[in-house]
Amino acid sequence: MNESYSSNYHSLALLPAVEKYQRRQLLKVFWLIAIGLLIFELQAETDSILSKLAAIIITVAALWPSYLWCSGRAFGMPLFPLFALTYTWTHGLPLVANHPLVITYSPESHLFAGITTAGFLIIGTSFWLKSVKSPPPLPKHYRALNGKKGNLFFLLIMALAVLFNLSKNGGWLLLDGGIFAVIRGTVLGLTVLASFVLTYQLGNRTLPNNQSRLYMILLIAYMVTDAVGLLVVGAASTFMVSTSAFIIGRKKVPIVAILIVTICLSVLHQGKDEMRHKYWFKDEPTLVQPWQYADWYNEWIAYSLEKMRAKDDVYKSSDSEEKSSFIERSSVIQMLLLTQKKSPEPIPYLYGESYAVIPQLLIPRFLNANKIRSHEGTYILSIHYGLQKREDTLGTTIGWGLLAESYANFGLLGSAGLGAILGNFYGRVTRWSMNAPILSAQSLFSVLLLAFSFQTEFSAGVYVSALFQSGMVLAGIVVVLMQNQKIPKFPAYHS
C-alpha cells in the first residue's frame, strides 16, 4: 500500500471516539447559527404568531440532522444534513421575511405548510439516521484513483474548466447545441468533483503546498470566468461545495473566506439585472474576451454601487423594481402554499404525471432527437396550476422544488413518501461511502450527491436526469482511470 493512498482516507474513517471529538468542535458554530436564526424569526416584522411558529418549526426540523452530525451521533458525509439545512432559507425564513408571494396566504396556511415541511424533514431524518448511526465494517478493497495521479487529474480538470469558460465567454467554441450541452454538463460534473476533492484535501492538510497554491488560483479563476456570463449562481454553488468540503476536512468553518466571497457575490448580485438588460437582449450574443474582463467587472460593479446608493429612493418609488432579497430569490415555499390551497380542490392532484417523464429524460439526446426538455416535469406543474401556458415555458422556468412537487402529485402522502425515499437514499449512499478514501468511487459519488443538495429549485425530473448524467461521467472515470486497491489493516488516522 503506497503512502499517498493511505493519506487520502476519509476523516470519516477515524475511530468513533476521535471522530465524535472533532465533530463537536463544530457544535459552537452550530449553536451560534441556530440561536441566530431563531432570534431573527422571533423578532421578525410579521405580526402573525402562527407564521413565526411555522418558521421556527421548519428551522428546528431542518437543523436537527446537522446537530446529530456535529455532535457525533451520525457518521459519514453530511449529505442529508446539508440537504435539510437548505429548508431554513427556502421554506422557513420566507414565512417571516415579508416575501411578496408568501404574505398573500393566511397565517393558517403558513402553519399548515410549516407542519408539512417539518414532517417531511423529520421522516427523512429518521430514515437517514438508521443508516448512519455507526460505521460499517471495512471492506477488503475499494476502486479508487491513485493519490498523486488523482490530484494531478483533478487539477487538470480545474484548468480545463477555466479554459471552457474562457471559450464559452469569448465564442471560441462552434458546436452544435446538443453537443455543447453534453460538454457543458460533463465539465460541470467534473468541476464539482475536482473542487470538492481538492478543497477537502486542502482542509485536512494532505494536499502538497505547491498544489494547494495552484488549486486556489484555479478555483478563483473558475469562479471569476464562470460569473462573466452574469449568472452568479454557478460561482456561488461552486463556493458552497468547496466550503462544505473544507469544513468536513478541517472540522472548522472558514469564516473569513465566507465573508469575503459573500460580500463579493452580494455586490455583483445588485447590478446583474442592469447588465443583463444591456447585454442579454440583443440580436447577437455579447462576447467577452479575457482581456476585457477587467472592464466588464468594473462596469458591473459600477452598476451595483449605483443601485446600492439609490436603494432607498428606488424602493420608495411607485414604479420601481420590487425589492429582491436573498430570501425572496431562494424561497420555494410559495409553491407548497399554492398547491395546498388549490389541491385537491379546485385543482386535482397530478397523481405522478410530473414523475412519469423521468424515464424519457434518461435517454441520451443522440439516441432520441425528439427528446423532451429536462424541465418537462416542472412545466407540467406550472401549466397544471395555471402559472404558465405551454408557449411561456420556452422562455421562463419557474422553480418548484421537490417537496411542492410531491404534494402536487399525492398530497400529504406524497410529502411523507418523499421524506422516506430521500432519507433512505441519502442514508444508504452515506453508509456506502463511509471509511472510503476520498478518491474512491463511493466518495466521489457522494460528492456529486452533496452538490445536488444545494439545488433547491429542481423538480424530480431535473434532479434525477442531472444526477444520472453526472453519474455516467463518474462511471467513465471509474472504468478508465481507477484501480482496485486493498485497504491497509490500520488506516492512517488524521485530524
Query: What CA–CA distance (Å, rounded) separates 112 from 188?
Result: 38
DSSP letter for each residue of 439-469 = TBHHHHHHHHHHHHTT-TT--HHHHHHHHHH
Which tens digit of pLDDT belongs to each residue from 135-157? 888 777 888 887 778 889 999 99
pLDDT surpasses 60 at 206: yes
Q: Which band of pLDDT confidence, cut at 50, 70 and 90, is reported for residue 307?
A: confident
From the list 117, 46, 111, the residue with the least C-alpha distance to 419 is 117
Which tens digit of pLDDT belongs to each residue from 281-290? 777 778 999 9
pLDDT surpasses 70 at 83: yes
Grid cell for residue 468: 444520472
How many helices (DSSP H) and strands (DSSP E) are in the chain?
21, 2
| Residue 219 CB-half CA count within 13 A | 26
Query: What CA–CA distance (Å, rounded) separates 106 from 445?
Result: 42
DSSP state of 9: B
DSSP 3-state of 254 = coil
Query: What CA–CA distance (Å, rounded) separates 433 from 243?
Result: 20
CA distances for 200 relative to 175, 177, 193, 244, angstroms = 34, 34, 11, 8
C-alpha torsion angle, residues 228, 470, 70, 13 (rounded to 10): -130
Query: What CA–CA distance (Å, rounded) separates 190 from 158?
Result: 8
CA distances for 53 relative to 86, 90, 112, 289, 431, angstroms = 18, 16, 11, 51, 34
Query: What CA–CA distance (Å, rounded) separates 102 from 89?
Result: 13
Which has the higher per-residue pLDDT, 369 or 221? 221
In contact, 104 and 452? CB cutoff 8 Å: no
DSSP 3-state of 437 = strand
Q: Which band of pLDDT confidence, cut at 50, 70 and 90, is reported for residue 178?
A: low
In contact, 461 and 357? CB cutoff 8 Å: yes
Query: What CA–CA distance (Å, rounded) separates 445 from 300?
Result: 37
This prediction has a pTM of 0.83
User: Nearest 5°: phi and psi at 106?
Assistant: -70, 155
Average pLDDT (184-192) is 84
Which has the higher per-residue pLDDT, 408 or 305? 408
Grid cell for residue 139: 471492506
DSSP letter for each residue of 385-447 = TTS--GGGGGT------HHHHHHHHHHHHHHHHHHHHHHHHHHHHHHHHTT-BTTBHHHHHHH
Query: What CA–CA distance (Å, rounded) separates 440 from 142?
Result: 7
Average pLDDT, the chain: 85
SS3 annotation, 243-264: HHHHHHHHCCCCHHHHHHHHHH
In the chain, where the domains are located: 14-134+399-486, 144-311
pLDDT at 79: 94
Query: What CA–CA distance (Å, rounded) separates 418 from 421?
Result: 5
DSSP letter for each residue of 143-166 = EE--HHHHHHHHHHHHHHHHHHHH
Which tens digit of pLDDT belongs to each residue from 8-25? 444 434 445 555 566 667
Identify residue 434 by its one-letter amino acid code.
M
Average pLDDT (70-92) is 92
Average pLDDT (221-248) is 89
pLDDT at 175: 67
Q: Which band of pLDDT confidence, cut at 50, 70 and 90, is reported for residue 325?
A: low
Q: For residue 9, what are the β-bridge partners?
A: 437
Q: For residue 143, what are the β-bridge partners?
A: 484
pLDDT at 492: 40
In contact, 191 and 470? CB cutoff 8 Å: no
From the list 352, 394, 395, the residue with the least C-alpha distance to 377 is 352
Length of the chain: 495
pLDDT surpasses 50 at 71: yes
Percent of the chain with pLDDT over 90: 48
Which has the higher per-residue pLDDT, 179 or 102? 102
Identify residue 177 by its one-letter amino acid code.
G
pLDDT at 21: 61
